[in-house]
Amino acid sequence: MVASDWHEATTQWWADLWASPMANEYHSSDRHALFLLAVLVDDFWRAPSTKLAAEIRLQRVAFGLTPYDRRRLEWTIETTEEAKDRGTARRGQTSKQPSQRADPRLALVQ
């Protein structure tokens, strides 16, 4: 799928997802489930249904996408650089340099 194939609301959702504070909590292995969730979101915007909305609601729980889900996961949104530093330290990264791995967010726009 190329970027022009995605519904505009899906690409905005994807951009918001990766710009959110929760993005720092995602592991590289999460991207596969997030890709599947993106397909569900895209399908919903193309042909809304309660069945799709229910499945999206089930799938997004694991990623802290609502305030309740973040609370259940014991995630707190912090807005300081200190919070980013703690997240980096928690993941065991010592460098503040970006990873050399491919950015999973680019899958939806390439």
pLDDT tens digits for range 37-50: 999 999 999 999 99
User: What digits encode the pLDDT tens for the residues 48-78?
Assistant: 999 999 999 999 888 877 777 778 777 666 6
Answer whether residue 68 is part of any domain. yes
Answer whether residue 4 is part of any domain. no
Output the pLDDT for position 69: 75
Answer whether residue 44 is part of any domain. yes
Q: Span 84-106, mean pLDDT?
A: 69
Crossing angle of helices 31-46/50-60, nearest 10°? 160
Neighbour count for residue 14 (Cβ, 10 Å): 21
The domain tally of the chain equals 1
Q: Span 18-39, mean pLDDT?
A: 89
Selected residue with higher pLDDT from 71 and 33: 33
Answer whether residue 93 is part of any domain. no
Residue type at position 72: R
Q: Span 11-21, mean pLDDT?
A: 91
List the domain range (segments joined by +) for residue 41: 28-84
Answer whether residue 65 is part of any domain. yes
Answer whether residue 106 is part of any domain. no
Give pTM, 2 decimals: 0.63
Output the pLDDT for position 5: 92
Answer whether residue 19 is part of any domain. no
Answer whether residue 32 is part of any domain. yes
